[in-house]
A and B are shown apart, each in its own frame.
Chain A
Amino acid sequence: MESTSLNSKIFIQSFFGLLLRDLRVLTREFHVFLARVGMQPLLFLFVFTFIMPRMGGANPMAGGAGGLDFGTVLLPGLMAVAIMFSGIAAVALPLSQEFGITREIDDRVMCPLPLWAVALEKVSFSALQSMIAALLVIPMAYYIPAVPVRADVHNWFLFALVLVMASYLAGSLGLVIGSTVNPRQIGLVFSILVVPITFLGCVYYPWAMLDKIRWLQFGVLFNPIVYMSEGLRAAVTPGIAHMPWWAILVALVFFTAALGRLGLKGFLGRVLS
């Protein structure tokens, strides 16, 4: 009994130590992190909600999706993209490097805690970065657009839940990519996987608006990003049509579990022979 409690104490301390290490590396280059996660939503909002509206009739998106103001449609979508890219950048890229080239993952794999916990720490820290990245989009969406964004979070619990789950989902996807793709092909994975699922992830339009293109509306249900965008839409801008929250939560849990399992399998396969 005694040794079990000692084991779990070291286990928790070790997990905490790994988080501390990641925090140290992140804070040392925090400005780089901010630039990395902030630039895309910043430019996106600037071009589509600040410049374009001033061009009046020349702007095909002036009316937004179905007459809604585009900034409001865009806010949850951009948060989803921020979460997604952060997950990839925080897990997939470094892990792919560490497995393929530097092998420095070895020192963390040799920590006195089960291997699944090492993977969980990676995903958790990535989730933390995703959340910071997503929250960063909110002030931008408040100050940049010509027409102020109508953010209206009245269910804080739903907001927090979706934010955390979407972030873990992104981290799990990062784990899958990082442990299965070798570093030379990671650029390719960006072009043929990450970019398409982002563009078709109901980021720039609500899912309900796809009812004119039924095959696509059905097809994108297999894309986990859809539930991240729709979930945030339900939580942050509930005035815009969105999927029912229960369906979103079920899908988020399902995709996180499936990708987490797949990612862990890949991770174990890389560190154990």
Chain B
Amino acid sequence: MIVEIEKLTKIYESRLRVVALDGIDLELKEGEIFGLLGPNGAGKTTTISVATTRTLPTSGTVRIAGIDVVKHPAHARRLIGVVPQFNTLDRSLTVYENLYFHCRYFGFSHSHARARSLELLDQFLLSERGKMYPNQLSGGLAQRVQIARAIAHRPPVLFLDEPSAGLDPQSRMAMWDAVAALRKEGITVLLTTHYMEEADQLSDRLAIIDYGRVLALGSPEKLKATFGAHTVFNLKLRSMEGLAVMVEELKSREDVSGVETTADGLRVIGTGADGLLPDLVRAATGHGLRDLTITEPSLETVFIQLTGRELRE
């Protein structure tokens, strides 16, 4: 296993005790793209921070290619590339120089660093922007330069923290293509995201985490098959009176696997929509149904199933 995360905990002790990581166990296979999916504050970024030597864990270990990142941070940094959430390109250097000096930091000779930088500019379709400065780049382009820079020293593992945060849809697609292309180079990728589509599209396997714990682990298909072959109906009701009767009725149905009351209505988790939908509408009309949303089976429904919450709540 190229990345081994074992019983990782991180507790911030200040006025408020915050348990950011509550025993995370993960193993990444060589060459896979692994997604960490969870809402903001779930512990995704903390996991990456520990693995990339920027945060010291309270307990537990992270090993990259067998190297303990806490004991040997400088060595571990040679084995990883990191694309943080925010733009950390060197504002005083051009795009080309950002790549070139990154290579020099990692021990490349002048000619070797130059060749590698030119190759990366080409690979990431940045050749025409080599002389530009980072503050002249759009968000999408800057993100591409960051990815190019992160893999410049040919690390076996790449960490991408919320790579599409703040990107417009078009740049997001381009970024996805760039990440998918890394597969060819055999780089293992760990990416965090709170976009289901992104986790679904890109990852070979993913872990759903919340409150610093891994809730489920597997390929997107497997997760959907195990937890999420369900459709989620969110009903907003005017009146919550006598709702218990309706809940009991629904629970007794075969095509309903779960019913929960929410702040302003009901959440019904069903195994199919065909027969259920008309019955739901009929039953809910008596309670003043004012809105109904249906979420088709997806990682979103997996997440709702696992946590009782929506990802973007």
Contact = CB atoms under 8 A, between A and B. Distances in A.
Interface of A: 3, 7, 9-11, 13-14, 16-18, 20-21, 24-25, 102-115, 271-273
Across the A-B interface, the 8 shortest Cβ-Cβ residue pairs: A17-B104, A106-B88, A13-B107, A17-B105, A111-B105, A112-B78, A21-B101, A10-B107
Contacts of A21: 90, 93, 101, 104-105
Contacts of A25: 92-93
Nearest to A21: B101
A113 B84 contact: no
Contacts of A3: 75
Given A112-B107, A272-B55, A104 B88 contact: yes
A16 B109 CA distance: 11
A20 B105 CA distance: 9
Contacts of B56: 272-273
Contacts of B213: none
A114 B93 contact: no
A68 to B, nearest CB: 43
Interface residues of B, number: 29
Nearest to B149: A107
A113 B54 CA distance: 13
A contact patch SS: helix
A109 B54 contact: yes
Contacts of A7: 74-75
Given A10-B107, A103-B84, A113-B74, 19 more contacts: A7-B74, A7-B75, A10-B106, A13-B107, A16-B104, A17-B101, A21-B104, A104-B88, A104-B90, A104-B91, A106-B82, A107-B89, A109-B54, A110-B82, A111-B105, A112-B74, A112-B75, A114-B74, A271-B54
Given A107-B89, A273-B55, A20 B101 contact: yes
B97 interface: yes
Interface of B: 49, 52-56, 73-75, 77-78, 82, 84, 86, 88-93, 97-98, 101-102, 104-107, 149
A112 B88 CA distance: 17
B83 to A, nearest CB: 10
A18 B101 CA distance: 8
A10 B78 contact: yes
16 contacts: A3-B75, A10-B106, A14-B105, A14-B106, A21-B90, A24-B97, A25-B92, A102-B91, A104-B89, A105-B88, A106-B88, A112-B106, A271-B54, A273-B49, A273-B55, A273-B56
Contacts of B93: 21, 24-25
Contact of B101 (A24, A112, A115): A24
A110 B102 CA distance: 10
B142 to A, nearest CB: 12
A216 B102 CA distance: 50
Contacts of B78: 10, 112
Contacts of A271: 54
